[in-house]
Structure 1
Amino acid sequence: MSRKITLSELAELTGCERRGPADLVITQVSSLQAAGPSSISFLANSRYKKSLADTQAGAVILNAAAAEHFAGARLISGNPYLTFAQVARALNPARQAKSGIHPSAVIDASASVAPSAEIGPFVYIGAGTVIGEQSIISAGTVIGDDVSIGSQCVLHANVTIQEGCTLGNRVVLHPGVVVGGDGFGFAQDNERWVGVPQLGRVILEDEVEIGANSTVDRGSQEDTWIEEGVKIDNLVQIAHNVRIGAHTVIASGTGISGSTKIGRCCTIAGQVGFAGHLEIADHCTFTGKSMVIGNVPEPGIYSSGMPSMPWRDWRKTAVRVKQLDGLARRVEQLEQNMKKDNDDD
């Protein structure tokens, strides 16, 4: 349920300069196009500037330059999108745990559940597992033996945490997340494949958030380790023994193969693929559909793949790609002929 906050209170909360009535009551955040008189919106991208003139928002968050061209109530921010996030959180505070255990939950007698935690219907909690203060374990979630879950964590419906894994404080796992499933480890015996026991754990540090139906495999011998503040989108696959540095963000469809190490504060767009056993530096950005097959020792922006183009152009390009090998051989032969002619002279 949203709250009601005055513009002056929001300015104090966010450290922004206020221009407009102090007692203006704000009840919700909205886009520029959909906002009404009690809503606050923001402008962070110049492509939406035309919407600023027509917005019905009670107030708008914008930078100092844009503020000079807007006559309505406003908060002036050096980072409008961040301020918008702060305002949205203030108006829509996260649900707090309602202490108690649903009668349908099954909890091993040796598990320890903090009195302030909320355990929803049809939850299973295994032997030796610890659930911290004010954590919320939602309906249908399965937590194996010897799992440690810190305080103020939120596990949404149908999350699975396999045995031995560790979650820090304020970890958020969205519906369908699986943490600690076996890594994809098999040894070949002629035509057969023999499974290699996956003996490590998964460690999620404080304030990790993982989107719906993403998976983090347990380590084979060492642990799979996700450092503090990492944010992972829906439908992401993290393989065994991967380590992801603090405050890295990973968009949907990305797959990270086993034993790859991702640095701190990296940005990984959608459908990026990482080969295994790589070392990726801090502060790297990978654009959508990039295929990373080698170590990346320096920060920077990296891309691969082919941007979309009209179908007829793509057919022509595909033909040319098939001709590249022959063209390279012809160029090499021409260079050899030229060198021979120069030597003869």
Structure 2
Amino acid sequence: MSEGVAVQDLAECVEAEVVGNADTLISRVAALSDAGPDAIGFCTNANYLDALRATRAGAVLIRREHLEACPTTALVVDDPYYAYAAVAARLYPAKRPAAGVHPTAVLADDVVLGDDVVIGPHVVLEAGVQVGDRCQIGPGCHIGVQTRLGEDTELLGRVTVGAHCEVGKRVVMHPGVVVGADGFGFAKGPGDSGWRKVPQLGRVVLGDDVDLGANTTVDRGAIGDTVLEEGVKLDNQVHIGHNVRVGARTIIAGNTVVAGSTTIGCDCMIGGSTAITGHISLADEVMLMGMTGVTGTIDESGAYASPLPAQPISKWRRNTVRFTQLDSLFRRVKKLEAASAAPGPAARRQDDD
């Protein structure tokens, strides 16, 4: 944590307009309700105006339309939450361990390490691995043969990256991530001969600035590659199947699954526990609400949702029964429509005349 940064310095790092005392020293971030004179908070929307009016913070990041409700020094920005991310990073700079290779690490003879690399305890780097400058590989990580890590990439601990994968610059993998495991490929044999494993011969390619949450898995391609383009962000426990392509800057929340050979466009936002079937595509700038089930291609940008909201169990039971009756109800309605559209006896006699 910082010992104190002047409001003016914080404003410069987020291009904010200061309204109030630019010399106030800020040493920490805090929620509006918990902040003191040494803290900075943020207000994202009108739901928090009461907390803003009552805050004791030394400074607050706000939008211009909330300025009248601010009782303290304001940093006026277009997006307070986005600015908060930069301010928090300024006040809480990451502590980098000393460069070097831990004595318990196991490195193949031909491993290539860049400058200022950190290799933690019990790390295994197999033959042909290349590690870029300033990379940090945490305890218990395993990097497969001929895999390359770009500059400033960080593997936090117990991360596995399979053979022949390509990892870009500034990639972050949180504990338990597995990149490059085999995709789920099996061919059904005749009779009772069972399933035959299909070799997974592709790679995983991660672009620059990708972030993978804890216990997330990205399978290698079956023949081609599984690709996450630059700036993709995956939450914890996301599963990406083989040969999937995720477009640049797309963000996917936790427990989402994407089946194989699906293409997701750029700048998409996918809510938690979403299930996306295989061999389809999503356009750029698609937003899927949490628990959405996607079974077909989405060609147009926009927001989509499919789950039912929570409701009292008695109502849910009635609606579930009615759902099972939809097909018979549909057929009855079609018959009624057909009967009402058919000409009556009088109309038929006039036609005969």
TM-score by length of 2: 0.95
How big is the shift at 1:31?
A: 1.1
Aligned counterpart, 1:45: 45
CA distance in 1, matches of 2:279, 2:262: 4
Match of 1:29 in 2: 29
Moved more, 123-132 or 334-343: 334-343
Q: 1:15 corresponds to which residue?
A: 15
Q: Distance in 2 between matches of 1:2 and 1:135?
A: 25
* Alpha-carbon contact 2:55-2:71 (below 8 Å) kept: no
Structure 2 unaligned regions, length at least 5:
348-353
Distance 1:63 1:329 in 2: 55
Aligned 1:194-213 pairs, distance under 5 A = 194-213=196-215
Deviations 1:120-162 (A, max 9, x none): 0010000000011111000011111100001101101100001
* Equivalent position of 2:335 in the other structure: 333
Whichever residue aligns with residue 249 of structure 2, its letter is H
Report the equivalent of 1:218. Answer: 220
Match of 1:296 among 280, 286, 298: 298
Q: SS of the residue aligned with 1:85?
A: helix
CA drift at 1:278: 0.6
- State whether structure 2 residue 57 is matched by structure 1 residue 57: yes
Partner of 1:105: 105
1:256 Cα deviation (Å)? 0.4
**SS across alignment from 2:282:** coil
Q: Which amino acid in structure 2 is aligned with residue 83 of structure 1?
A: A
Provide the rounded CA distance (Å) in 1 between the counterparts of 2:345 and 2:173: 69
Aligned to 2:160: 160
Percent identical across equivalent pairs? 43
Instruction: Name the CA distance, whole Å, in 2 between partners of 1:2 and 1:69.
Output: 28
Q: Deviations over 1:273-329 (max 9, x none)?
A: 111011111011000111111111111111112111122211121121122111111
Name the SS of the counterpart of 1:152 in structure 2.
coil
The offset of 1:225, in angstroms, is 0.3
The answer for unaligned runs of 5 or more in structure 1 is none
> Is the 8 Å Cα contact of residues 200 and 218 (structure 1) preserved in structure 2?
yes
Matches of 1:329 and 1:216, distance apart in 2: 45
Aligned-partner Cα distance in 2 for 1:197–1:83:
47
Question: 1:206 & 1:343 partners in 2: Cα distance?
Answer: 75
Cα RMSD between the aligned structures? 1.3
Q: How big is each residue's C-alpha offset from its partner over 1:167-207, in whole Å with a ceiling of 9 and x where there is no partner?
A: 01000000000000000000000341110000000000100
Distance 2:140 2:270 in 1: 31
Residue 324 (structure 1) aligns with? 326
Residues 34-76 of structure 1: CA distance to partner in whole angstroms, max 9, x if unpaired? 2122110000022121111221211111011101222211111
**Amino acid aligned to 1:194:** R
The amino acid that maps onto 1:106 is V
In structure 2, relative to structure 1, the CA distance for the partners of 1:200 and 1:38 (3 Å cut) is same
Deviations 1:84-139 (A, max 9, x none): 11101111122335210000000001111123100000100000000111110000
Contact preservation (8 Å) 1:96, 1:134: no
Number of corresponding residues: 345
1:233 to 229, 232, 235: 235
**Greater gyration radius:** 2
* Change in CA separation of 1:71 and 1:111 when aligned onto 2, cut-off 3 Å: same
